[in-house]
Structure 1
């Protein structure tokens, strides 16, 4: 971070006291910290204490005549290398998601053309509220980065997700956002979404995959500094920003796109690739005829995961996914051995779970060393944890995350 300029927006909340330590740690790493306080933040930390630690003037007022004459809020928002919001309150997240700008902090966040990193902090019920969930999803889609929140006891006496991430984790996320992340220089290929196998020009065979988990993984790897090639079928969710997108329809097209994207250091096969395609697909729409069904003849699709795992240009880490409806543990381990990949991320997609096409996931991570079951959590959090484990497996662990543990 030596010589980097960080615009630090401090929101109003009890977690604002952690921002004081964050300022100090950023400066220890050689960063220049330009602090911005909301009016609510001044109820928890004083401008004097923030200014003293930052060795920089604190910006507070959108209509400050001196600031506007000397620099202006537009220039302030764009002169930084990175914008960090810590704590990011539900109110600030809502303003950002809706494009509101009624004070200095929200105006800076709307006017900036730099990457923005949020460290949310709020009551667990506020964090879990559908409005906050929608705002988070929208901000992530817009390319805003997140670190945390963590789970634990809160000042209000409740327990759950909503605690602001610890300072070492925020530092690690900031380094990654600045292009200094642990996966800098790593090339990752991620497949995502379903494939559509044509029956005729208007009909196809497909599955219920939304592509949400694959998109979240591509974003998480990007946030750690990786160069990501994102090969996606016709998914229900849009691809993340900041990755190279290659769109395909069929399994055979996906296989070709993956081959073109190799060599790579990391391959993540998160796509729900159809096992078969219609060998005798019609060139025109099949007509319904009374008492007769069109004969469909199926042929096996290429096995993308096995081909990558056994290829001459095999990536250093090959990760596959297994969507199962029964006997999860046995089927996942059998798939890992059969495909020759390093890891299998398995999940139970029985209809009762709501995981296929849903917002959450509960996975079983299977490696050569054993298996571990993760609790149900948002797919973005699953992606973040998997990306960090992948970084560690490639010999590039998060320095800040390790310190936080």
Structure 2
């Protein structure tokens, strides 16, 4: 047998061996791929489970945050109620019937000069006295003797310089402005200060005012303040009292705010943010910020709150602009109850729909949102999920700022 013959006989036996080795290697690779695939699937499941756990944890934390914010809103509501109750506990004054005979008596007294005007003021009950009648009466007479002096400030919720500037004819009446208001001005519908909306107050309390013939300011000082009645749509006594101002005996929230409360940064209404307004108007020329806004601020587009845009509101409601009405007052007294939105940041009709029956009758929708409604709805604005916004901005819990307010402050970013 030649070597060639021997080689040709060895080849058939070697081929099966090589083929078997390749099969073994393929099986090993397949098994390894299977193990890797199973390991990958297991790792993927673990990752998914971790993501689910993380998402659940994040959701639970977000729910806890919103629940804590809702609880804080409820606590603030209780504090408001307690503040109002404490103020009422100081005692409610008595209504007097200022009938025709009583009005004739006041006119006769007014003819007696400053002593007679002092008696008119004393009978009204609007003077913030010391509890010593003779001392207070002398003080009232001294005030009346100075007549229409814009530098004089009576111990009452009448802003003398503002009253004289707003009603120039009073200076020629030869009476102290407070006496003028009690004898004439109040019945003519004149306002005693920029934060007392006489026409609105008269409308809100028409029955008692008609029955007693009192001026709006007399009614407010005697019983209205103690009952928690608002003298102006943009002044909320309960909101103000909840900030714990120190009121002297005989004092009331509106007079306190105009005299000193605004100096310490107290807010007169949930929809008036003093710090926000101060950023736009650092110098209010000695006026309370809300008074400044109502007098001139709104005409230059200054905003009282991140969620209220005066210019936008007037652009959306031509009738309000044509009538020359101040937009915030209109929104609080009428517009908000008629479905008008206050700014591009707050869709009022959408919020009312989201709130449903939980929105109590007679409660202003935006005030409801600011006082806790924000945490009771999934979306206060379409496409703006409350929980998701809070989850990415937990600092809102510390600040107590509602999501839409925070969003508006950042210009929608």
- TM (norm. structure 2) is 0.27
Greater RCO structure (CA 8 Å; 6+ sep)? 2
Name which one, 1 or 2, has greater alpha-carbon Rg. Answer: 2
More strand by share: 1
